[in-house]
Structure 1
């Protein structure tokens, strides 16, 4: 498998282009809590949200990344979305923004099928010319559902799409330079017409003006995370610790009109959930019970960088509506600030270590 570079539509081309900017809402926590680290398909890495304008139409573009640190060099390629995980991107409107409650949730749910089970060629039986052709042996599909939590509203299935193949190399040539699987992956592009064949075919136009994509992408978050957690051994320039790894991304283009117009502030966060119980048997496994949240992602690195070990899993399982009560103390008195003052500043800035209402206001 090769490092996946391409992006999925002009608006999501912009998404990858802004990974190094600070104005959009974005988040990243690749290894943020002990339990979810053991569950990579449900482990949220990044959340992105920004407004894009296409002619007279404005859209809120949101994206959720999962499955951190996918190594491109393995085979057979087993990095996939999990059929038993409920992936959700939540949008808060009006009073729900301050309350930390979702007004609308967009759910991605996946199903998988293997066309030929009498072969050891798990993903591919030949060179893939088009998404879901006969050579793509393992195929994932997904459904996007809009859940409006306001009284009098309900669930709306917006449509479904197909996940393009991961970039294995020779069998997926159109991901790579000069459409040659022996070459490195193509770089990101700035216009839709420059997208590779597989990505173009995987962009799905849903009902009511929504557009979706789900598939493997290059991890675009740049941070020297290793140095931060190695007793702040920061370097200039820093190292991109996510460089060379892939993640799996779900992206959705939401018409602003669906949210009530653009003269408002909205909140965006994401979560993953699993069923309460998993039953193992000789005839296969079953997942039963209510959905239980196992991870969430909002502003960047809050859980990973600020919340103590004792509360990290609790943070993953709770709602933003409880943050003020349960986790505000970690923002107001951040241990990380105390370490920065001690290790990097020689204790010269004690004021940065406590009463940080500025950080608390962000989170």
Structure 2
């Protein structure tokens, strides 16, 4: 009897803990689904606001008339012209946020972002070279140059950040990206300034905005965005393994180099496609994944869909704000995202929950 007492005392808490684990996981999953539905509702509400608000406000009845049939009259024609820029804001925001989340997972760097790592600027420089020396003028040509430029800079920054002891640490990657972005920005200026015939258009494009969104441009980059999204989502489980460290991930059967390369390819595709059509837009890929981790945790299978919705919401909101604050003039979304993203990022970093990935 005495021997059985301690055994019972030991096994009882284990059994209680095991039986309590599944309900806890189910509650966490239900909470995530609830947040996901709320994000979907927020995105839909922002889409309607984006169609209604601008330099010329229109009525709600006109908005719903355009959504359900062909436009009639000047007001409804204005709404129809806002549809492609709204679609571009949704796609660009989702792509940049997912790209940032994947880059943070690949590098295990909480400061990773297409802008901070210089990938945006690499794509920008390549597009500017194409415009200045090869006469590019359409998104069909921009996308290929942007893809090459973004890929080369991504490899370059990772190689520089990997030099020395400790390999590619977050600090070295951030410093390498910042230095590379500064150097590439100078090269862009050196190419553009002597060429007055392209200076105005290039400088407007470099501000980063969705006002030039058209259906042909969206159709041009849509295949690249779709492929990039699919690649990133398929590597979500592998990114979870990379978060444990390369040695442990390899011990679990993960092909670390292949997973890192494939995930990086998906992130570069997304970043290059957005930069080609909308110009460089910062802070979306940095802030949104951090904010979404507060809702979902670090599981990339949840984080990437949340980041896509959060990025779409942020960039659509930035576009709406940019249109209504100084009518009839507009403020480009990259300026609004910086104003929104900088204080939000500072607030997120102050929280202990995001001190490490």
TM beyond 0.5: no
In proportion to residue count, which structure has more strand? 1
Q: Which has the larger radius of gyration?
A: 2
Q: TM-score range by the shorter chain?
A: under 0.3
TM-score normalised over the length of structure 2: 0.24
Higher RCO, Cα 8 Å, sep 6+:
2
